Amino acid sequence: MHVYKKNYMKKENILITGAAGFIGFNLTNLLISETYNIYGLDNINDYYDVNLKYARLKELGINRNDISDNIPIKSDKFNNFTFIKSNLENYDFIVKFISEGNFDYVINLAAQAGVRYSIENPRVYLKSNIDGFLSILEGCKQGKIKHLIYASTSSVYGLNTTMPLSENQSTEHPISLYAATKKANEMMAHTYSHLFNLPTTGLRFFTVYGPWGRPDMALFLFTKSILENKPISVFNHGNMIRDFTYVLDIVESIKKLLKKPPVKNINWDTYKPNPKSSIAPYRIYNIGNSNPVPLIEYIKHLEIALDKKAIYNFLDIQPGDVPATHADIQDLDNYIKYRPKISVKEGIQNFVNWYLIWNKIKFN
């Protein structure tokens, strides 16, 4: 007689930093239905309306009245989600939390975002994006994490205008401090990959948009102004091209990358070093729609979704902005067999549907 024993597999643990943020929330919302224990961390700062951040957390079963600094709380909606409010710059706490937390994977989406804001508030970016990322790296090293995925940005390409933008190309000329801190993150990650054999994957996001987005994003600002019959600020006189990428395509890509940590590239040439990989377990990927759209066309789709015309205020290009982006995503597609699927037309309509509910606005 055969006796069959049920195979109880231990759930893997994932830490997602920036879980109350735009991409972090959408990723948590996606992975929470999988067989993982999810831990979300966020400092809930006031860079933009904290009510939106708390609303995202509420969707995940976290009540704002239950939140205290550095104290984990369980979701009352999902039994595999735990949230903790903390700052990445709190080095000793974060390193201990990660190294002793029995995490299998860490996805770092916490950062001070915004190109223009970095011009006015540079020190904030160094604290959050440099000091905070060091806490992540050290915690991952000590905790022997299987795979660290972290957010970079298409802004690292800076003055590079060779399109499409490829991971093979130079990123030595960023034009905003925000981009410079993200470039520094990539170099810091490589150092830890090389010295401590920590598998790290950096993701260069291209103009992410969609439901639950940040209020400082163009689509959010445009929608608000159009509905309020106010002019929209259109920089570079409308001659901007962006590789707009829908947020669910971003998080689906991260999901597929999670269990595919990079390995050492044994064919990497130290005499002709390619910046996208290394003899260390280190990799950089673009994540974009790879179908760039003129900003004017983007706004036209928004006008159709809102059934309302915009009032245009054309302005010069802003310091730190680049006139065009276009992602080469062939490397990512080859690795995870996934390409973004949501068109700008569909993505904008999805955003508008969410925005109208969020703001309780209804057409008359």
Q: What is the pTM of this model?
A: 0.94
> For the chain, how many structural domains are there in total?
1
Domain assignment present for residue 318? The answer is no
Confidence of residue 363 (pLDDT cuts 50, 70, 90): low
Please check whether residue 233 lies inside any domain of the structure: no
**224 in any annotated domain:** no
Q: What average pLDDT does range 88-93 have in this prediction? A: 96
* Helical ranges in the chain per DSSP H: 22-31, 50-59, 91-99, 115-120, 122-125, 132-143, 177-196, 218-227, 247-257, 295-306, 330-336, 344-358
Whether 335 is in a domain gets the answer yes
Query: Which pLDDT does position 17 carry in this prediction?
Result: 98
Q: What is the DSSP string of 59-106?
A: HTT--GGG--BT--EE-SS-TTEEEEE--TT-HHHHHHHHHTTT-SEE
| Residue bearing tokens 């993505």 | 347
Asked if residue 152 is part of any domain, the answer here is yes
Predicted pLDDT at 359: 85
Q: What are the C-alpha distances in Å from 162 to residues 171, 175, 256, 327, 357?
A: 12, 16, 28, 11, 40
Interatomic CA distance for residues 100 and 358, integer angstroms: 38
pLDDT for 281-319, tens place per residue?
999 999 999 999 999 999 999 999 999 999 999 998 888
d(Cα 39, Cα 97) in Å, to the nearest integer?
11
| 112/83: higher pLDDT | 83
- 229 DSSP β-pair partners: none
257 pLDDT higher than 70:
yes
- The reported pLDDT for the residue numbered 9 is 59
Distance (Å, rounded) from C-alpha 208 to C-alpha 246? Answer: 6
The pLDDT assigned to 308 comes to 96
pLDDT > 70 in the chain, percent:
96
Cα gap 173→170, rounded to integer Å: 8
Residue 5 has pLDDT above 80, yes or no: no
In a domain, 73, yes or no: yes
CA 187/CA 169 separation, integer angstroms: 15
- Alpha carbon distances (Å) from 90 to 128, 133, 136, 181, 269: 10, 11, 10, 18, 38
Mean pLDDT, range 116-129, rounded to an integer = 81
Mean pLDDT over 323-338 rounds to: 95
**57 lies in some domain:** yes
On the question of pLDDT at 325 being above 50, the answer is: yes
Kindly state whether residue 172 falls inside one of the protein's structural domains: yes
Q: How far is CA 239 from CA 11, 174, 234, 268, 323, in A?
A: 49, 21, 9, 39, 7
Average pLDDT, the chain: 93
Mean pLDDT of 49-63: 96
The type of residue at 147 is: H
pLDDT tens column, 209-221: 999 999 999 999 9
The DSSP call for residue 9 is: P
Q: Where in the sequence is the domain holding 112, given as residue range(s)?
A: 12-212+243-290+325-340
Distance of CA 320 to the CA centre of its chain: 19
Residue 3 has pLDDT above 60, yes or no: no
% of the chain with per-residue pLDDT over 90: 84
Residue 127's pLDDT is 87
Residue 165 belongs to a domain with what CATH number? 3.40.50.720
**178 catalytically annotated:** yes
- Catalytic-role residue among 125, 178, 282, 285: 178
Mean pLDDT of 229-243: 92
In the block, residue with structure tokens 């205020």: 313
Helices and strands in the chain, H and E counts: 12, 14
Residues 6+ apart with CB under 8 A from 173: 158, 159, 160
Rg (alpha carbons) of the chain, rounded to whole number: 21
